[in-house]
């Protein structure tokens, strides 16, 4: 399925070129939390989107009523549609759909409303709270604003949400239910409650004095992931339709694979079995052998258990090719965008193949001997890659893998 447009709102930049500049130079977007007073939290760092002005992408009234994750989603969708050159308003109402996902949805709206209820009573709860907190509202908002009347929904599978959204969107087009889909994910979970909840799980890095060094996948001194926010949206399109209108094709989603760990609420299968099955299914559906894969963008969260499990999963699937394939975690720079992470990392794969440069895993200073693959440490690497995998694994044992091919124009 052709990828004809991309829009990115992230801690390392907004727009394709700023994001690529950061990815290619190994620049971290992690810093002190400014969204709320975190002085009493064990973790006081996150990947915030800097200098975001929603009124650049929507009118003031819409911006005032839309949750932050929805603002990010609409901004990224507008950028993606503009980049694609597609005009949904000129197409039939069923030809363009939307699958834009989130893990937590409008957490800021929920927490704000709860505060109002406790402090000032029910009459102070905004009438916009209910619709704007739900995880499908970003997709609904995009459909309204961009005139996309085709299939419209959100996929919720924790940190695999937007990877599943892209895979689902490609399938919608394959079965003929739309000509094009606006797909990806959005998250704005840097809120007192959600950060506090992850702190209580001891899931987050506490490297508060070195925020840019806090996300360090596959490094023996990793101590948890770093929460981030943002949105990444792509325009997927029927290949024939894209070529007929002369669209620039960034790449193709060739196949997707999904599985469940069947193991634990939060911990991954320690042998990587579920993740391996998702990768194997994706390759089988794409009709590809492991030795045809040139790059893997790892889920690579910087957690003690997750990085080892993923390493084992890659070894299971890649076999003799495991020592030759380049693997990197761009979460080392972006932090973990939760429900938007899969789309962010799929975009990183697309850009890496187009620019012939593999983004590094930064902060990999002391390799964990149990993580023994080629993780492109600390510096970007020139490479011509035709096929990439993008891995996304979520709490609950949700696994998704996308097979992405290099663009043809």
Domain locations along the chain: 2-244, 254-406
Architecture of domain 2-244: 3-Layer(aba) Sandwich (3.40)
Question: Which of 164, 241, 248, 336 is labelled catalytic?
Answer: 336
Q: Is 299 a catalytic residue?
A: yes
Mean pLDDT, each 10-residue run in order, the chain (409 residues) = 98 98 98 98 98 96 94 98 97 97 93 88 87 92 98 98 98 98 98 97 98 98 98 98 97 98 94 97 98 98 98 98 98 98 98 98 98 98 98 97 86
Question: Which of 299, 349, 371, 398 is labelled catalytic?
Answer: 299
Which pLDDT score, from 0 to 100, does residue 407 have?
Answer: 79
Which pLDDT score, from 0 to 100, does residue 126 have?
Answer: 87
Domains 2-244 and 254-406 share a fold: yes
Which pLDDT score, from 0 to 100, does residue 123 have?
Answer: 87
Topology classification of domain 254-406: Peroxisomal Thiolase; Chain A, domain 1 (3.40.47)
* Residue whose structure tokens are 């995880």: 135
Is pTM, for the whole model, over 0.85? Answer: yes
Which pLDDT score, from 0 to 100, does residue 129 have?
Answer: 84
Q: Is 336 a catalytic residue?
A: yes
Question: Which of 65, 115, 147, 159 is labelled catalytic?
Answer: 159
């Amino acid at each position: 399925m052709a990828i004809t447009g991309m829009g990115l709102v992230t801690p390392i930049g907004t727009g394709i070129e700023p994001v690529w500049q950061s990815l290619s130079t190994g620049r971290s977007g992690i810093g002190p939390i400014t969204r709320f007073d975190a002085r009493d939290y064990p973790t006081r760092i996150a990947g915030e989107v800097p200098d975001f002005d929603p009124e650049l992408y929507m009118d003031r009234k819409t911006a005032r009523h839309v949750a932050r994750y929805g603002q990010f989603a609409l901004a990224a969708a507008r950028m993606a549609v503009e980049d694609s050159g597609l005009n949904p308003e000129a197409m039939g109402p069923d030809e363009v759909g939307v699958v834009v996902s989130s893990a937590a949805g409008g957490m800021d709206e929920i927490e704000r409303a709860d505060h109002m209820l406790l402090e000032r009573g029910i009459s102070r709860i905004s009438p916009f709270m209910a619709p704007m907190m739900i995880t499908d509202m970003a997709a609904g908002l995009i459909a309204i604003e961009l005139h996309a009347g085709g299939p419209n929904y959100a996929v919720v599978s924790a940190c695999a949400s937007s990877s599943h959204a892209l895979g689902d969107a490609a399938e919608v087009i394959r079965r003929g239910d739309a000509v094009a889909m606006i797909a990806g994910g959005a998250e704005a979970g840097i809120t007192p409650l959600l950060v506090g909840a992850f702190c209580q799980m001891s899931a987050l890095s506490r490297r508060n004095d070195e925020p840019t060094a806090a996300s360090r996948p596959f490094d023996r001194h990793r101590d948890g992931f770093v929460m981030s926010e943002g949105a990444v949206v792509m325009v997927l399109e029927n290949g024939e339709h894209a070529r007929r209108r002369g669209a620039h094709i960034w790449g193709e989603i060739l196949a997707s694979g999904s599985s469940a760990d069947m193991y634990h609420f939060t911990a991954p299968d320690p042998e990587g079995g579920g993740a391996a099955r998702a990768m194997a299914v994706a390759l089988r559906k794409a009709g590809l052998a492991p030795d045809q894969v040139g790059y893997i963008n790892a889920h690579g969260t910087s957690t003690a258990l997750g990085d080892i499990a993923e390493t084992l999963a890659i070894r299971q699937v890649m076999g003799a090719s495991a020592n030759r394939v380049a693997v990197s975690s761009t979460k080392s720079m972006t932090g973990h965008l939760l429900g938007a992470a899969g789309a962010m990392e799929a975009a990183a794969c697309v850009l890496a193949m187009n620019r012939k440069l593999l983004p590094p895993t930064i902060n990999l200073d002391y390799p964990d001997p149990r993580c023994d693959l080629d993780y492109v440490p600390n510096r970007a690497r020139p490479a011509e890659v035709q096929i990439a995998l993008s891995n996304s694994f979520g709490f609950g044992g949700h696994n998704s893998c996308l097979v992405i091919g290099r663009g043809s124009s």
